[in-house]
Structure 1
Amino acid sequence: MERAFDCDVLVIGGGIVGLSTAYAITRAAPGTRVTVLEKEPGPARHQTGRNSGVIHSGVYYRPGSLKARYAVRGAAEMVKFCAEYGIAHAVTGKLIVATDRAELPRLHALVQRGRENGIPVRELGAAQIQEYEPEVRGLAAIHVGTTGVCDYVAVARQLAHASGAELRYGAEVRQVDRRPGTGVAVRTRSGEVLRARVMVNCGGLHCDEIARLTGDDPGMRIVPFRGEYYELARPELVRSLVYPVPDPAFPFLGVHLTRGIDGGVHLGPNAVPALAREGYGWGVVRPRELAATLAWPGSWHIARRHWRYGTGELHRSLSKAAFTTAVRRLLPAVAESDLVPAPAGVRAQAVLADGTLVDDFLIKEGAHAVHVLNAPSPAATAALPIGREVGRRALALLGGS
């Protein structure tokens, strides 16, 4: 390799997808020099470290989609990875509960979808729900046995260590220079320049901006949605995981109950527009980022198409009583005083110009570059197979450079 290059593959983003990609590349092609740039002082500070910690079974996702294939495969691999490295995890199973008659056909459709995806699903009547969750009420439910929970921050740290990649924290990308035949040069906030033969963009909340810096049109924009959580002051009310039947119009799964690996129970998330890419509260506003979101036609199409759904989500954000009401549909014993505010997360949702919410993982390639442009939930579950796919593409570009 020419010494003019600082590394073979430069990965931008130290979340679980970026670190899994680095891990996959060094496993598939030992000796490949990989550097990971992360703007934060450590790994997994955004989507990876701010979610429910659920290992998803893949029951929701359209058969044949990347989400379905990677989640089913990734769930088994994630459990094995956690066991191998002594990372806290548990396969608890979960309930998806219908609380309204209108939800029953959608619940039955999930049974069929789960079976098409090869996932064991047990149908339950109202009385059988209490076998799994004594405090939960509903008309019917399904039990999905392969769902679990784990510590994704610990997974990310282990991937970083096991990859052998060079990790550079506090390295925010400010400029990308790409020239035919000469690879990619990246300048960080500090003024440091790194040259690589291939760049992999796993920038999460900023992935579309990094694609444009590279000179590639991502064909979408990240529209950030904040998910707000509460912790349950009486965790004994919930044994494992309890979900509502999701709205098919949205890729969000609704307010659910999750007993984490630490024994605490999280309630949430809702889904409200964030006023910044890293807008973890209503008080975090970044005018340039907000203006870019509002300038994207897809944002207005979403607002017009789904204003009624959005109004309900906003109400639950601004009213603890309304959030409690949503939880009580599944868990009638809960009181408003049982809800303790917990850290929020922000979902990097790719949106097309016509307002379509991209529902599957989205990976695109350019000259000397691979861009991961949509990797929301279940990306953490599916991190190992996603990393292999992105790594495969990067190595193919490396071989052709």
Structure 2
Amino acid sequence: MECDTLIIGAGIMGLSTAYHMKKRAPSKKILVIDKYAGPGQGNSAKSEGGFRNIFTSETNYLLADTSIDFFFHMENELGYNLKMESIGYLWLFSEEQYEKIRPAVEGLKDRGVELEVYTREEIEVKIPTLMTDFGDDEEAELLGLKNVDYGVFGKKCGSLDADALVRAYEAEFLKLGGEVKYNTEATELIVKPEMELGIPGEPFVWQEKVITGTKTSDGEILADTTVVACGVWANQLMDPVGLDSFQRPKKRQLFAFKEPKLDPVMRTVGLNHENALPLMVLPTAGIFLKAELTEGSIWLGCADTIPRKFELEEDPQAEDDYYTNNIYHALVMYFGEFEDVRPMNSWAGQYSINSFDETPVIYGENGVIYVGCGSGSGIMKGDAIGRVADALWAGEAEAELHGGMKLPVANIGVKNRAVEREEFVI
């Protein structure tokens, strides 16, 4: 089988890239393959579906802000029900934590990002059930819990249906004449010399090499350009041919709660039009929770670092003990309503993490374009990521993002990378 461009991976990055490439070049045969039976079945659909434009890095801000605008365009103008809910993001800080982050917050304000800074007193009015001051509580001190002294609230932030988003990109790609092939696993990138001599043992060290496609579970697929956009599985294809994906996989877990005694936690005052719990990040351990309005539940997670190992898991599972004997002890101190409440559901996916700047990596080399390193925010940056990959494919120095903003392609490449340090990481 042959095509002009082969895209390995039908998650948000792969399908956004495919859509923008096909939109640019309708006559090109562009094929997306995935080992699963449908779009987004790897890690995209397992996402908590948060979106935010609160990033201190200008690069991350552009990637997210323009993508969010396009997602609203898909919902409002193109008619896709992405369940976009602007419930906001609320980061909670102790006095000490806020003083460290204050310059970054001022920088966000100067950039014109829509945000509010709340004092403890204001937070207590808006979230009456939240414990903000532990005083001399010995248990809180033993657990190392931080008081809540400030909150930073992002307005252009909220929640969406990640599965619906991925399927919307697939639908738009197919409308343009793109092709998808599911239940087809890429097993090995094909390396050949640029000029084949027909000599056994090619390619030799003195020959220029090029990736000409991939071997799959359903035979070889040859392509002029091969895009590797398969997230945490990229290493399996790239390592054997000496290419670097700059990412390592790490498990992330979500727990869902639907319990009447949690109703007061679901309700807030004056933070959003639904008076619902925004995506809230507690000041201890990065524990976060949000109202999932579509099902009337609360979703909760905690992105642990050490000692959570980097490991590729084909079918990651949530660990009940991680909530009941770990997160729970801190959570219940902030929200007493969680006492003796167990999750009704839980699941796990994996982040594709680049630890040096937690920003996507997109580069081209020897016939391959690599699109990866979502680092936990690939969904919310998905449209812009696809546009940058498309611009690289077309040989353009700058990608035009939704709304007309420009981003130099090399900025999120490798050789001339120019990414600012990010202060807001979940």
TM-score, normalised by the number of residues in structure 1: 0.78
1:96 to 80, 91, 99: 91
> 1 CA distance for matches of 2:56 and 2:120?
27
Distance 1:268 1:281 in 2: 14
Kept in 2: contact 1:358–1:374 (CA 8 A): no
**CA distance 1:227–1:116, change in 2 (3 Å):** farther
Q: Return the alpha-carbon distance in structure 2 between the equivalents of residues 282 and 258 of structure 1.
A: 18
Query: Does structure 2 retain, via aligned residues, the 8 Å contact 1:241–1:256?
Result: no
Preserved CA contact (<8 Å) 1:36 1:167: yes
**What is the DSSP-based 3-state SS (H/G/I as helix, E as strand, rest coil) of the residue aligned with 2:41?**
coil
Q: Does 2:266 match 1:267?
A: no
8 Å contact from structure 2 (residues 36, 183) kept in 1: yes
Name whichever of 27-36 and 109-118 sits farther off: 109-118
Please state if 1:172 is matched with 2:185. Answer: yes
> 2:339 and 2:101 mapped to 1: Cα distance?
27
The question of whether the paired residues in 2 share the 8 Å contact of 1:274 and 1:282 is answered with no
Rounded Cα–Cα distance in structure 1 between residues aligned with 2:313 and 2:344: 25
Question: How many residue pairs align between the two structures?
Answer: 344
- 1:240 corresponds to: 277
Structure 1: runs of 5 or more not aligned: 248-252, 284-315, 351-355
Equivalents in 2 of 1:166, 1:219: separation in Å?
A: 25
Match of 2:289 in 1: 257
Task: Tell me, in whole angstroms, the C-alpha distance in 1 between the residues paired with 2:357 and 2:236.
Answer: 17
In the other structure, the counterpart of 1:134 is: 128
CA distance in structure 2 between the partners assigned to 1:90 and 1:282 by the alignment: 26
Bigger CA radius of gyration: 2
Runs of 4+ in 1 over 6 A off after TM superposition: none
Q: Which residue of 2 aligns with 1:381?
A: 380
Q: Structure 2: which 5+ runs fail to align?
A: 132-147, 196-209, 267-275, 397-426
Matched-pair contact (CA < 8 Å) for 1:233–1:340: yes
Partner residue, 1:290: none
Residues of 1 paired with 2:256 and 2:318: CA distance? 19
Q: CA deviation at 1:46?
A: 2.3
What residue number does 2:312 align with? 276
Change (3 A) 1:269 1:46: farther
Q: Counterparts of 1:330-341 in structure 2 under 5 Å?
A: 330-341=334-345
What secondary structure, in the 3-state scheme, does the structure 2 residue paired with 1:124 have? strand
What CA distance in whole angstroms lies between the structure 1 residues aligned with 2:14 and 2:293? 24
Cα drift, residue 37 of structure 1: 0.8
Residue identity in the other structure for 1:217? L
CA-atom RMSD in angstroms:
2.6
Q: For residue 212 of structure 1, what is the aligned residue in structure 2? A: 239
Alignment of 1:102-117 (within 5 A): 102-117=96-111
Please tell me the residue identity of whatever aligns with 2:298.
Answer: V
Distance 2:222 2:245 in 1: 26
Please tell me the residue identity of whatever aligns with 2:89.
K
1:155 shift after superposition: 1.1
Contact 2:51/2:157 (8 A) holds in 1 = yes
Cα distance in 1 between the residues matched to 2:389 and 2:321: 36
CA 32–117 in structure 1, closer or farther in 2 if over 3 Å, else same: farther
Looking at structure 2, the residues matched to 267 and 109 of structure 1 have their Cα atoms a distance apart, in angstroms, of: 29
Q: 1:183: how far off?
A: 6.0
Alpha carbons of structure 1 residues 46 and 116: separation in structure 2 relative to 1, 3 Å:
farther
Question: What is the alpha-carbon distance in structure 2 between the residues aligned to residue 92 and residue 81 of structure 1?
Answer: 19
Shift of 1:231: 1.4
CA deviations on 1:43-83 (whole Å, 9 max, x unpaired) are: 111221112111122x2x34333x22201221222222233
Which letter maps to 2:371?
A: V
Give the Cα separation in 1 of the matches to 2:74 and 2:124: 32
Q: Which range moves more in the overlay, 265-274 or 117-126?
A: 265-274
Equivalent in the alignment of 2:215: 187
* 1:36 correspondence with 2:32: yes
Matched to 1:233, the amino acid is K
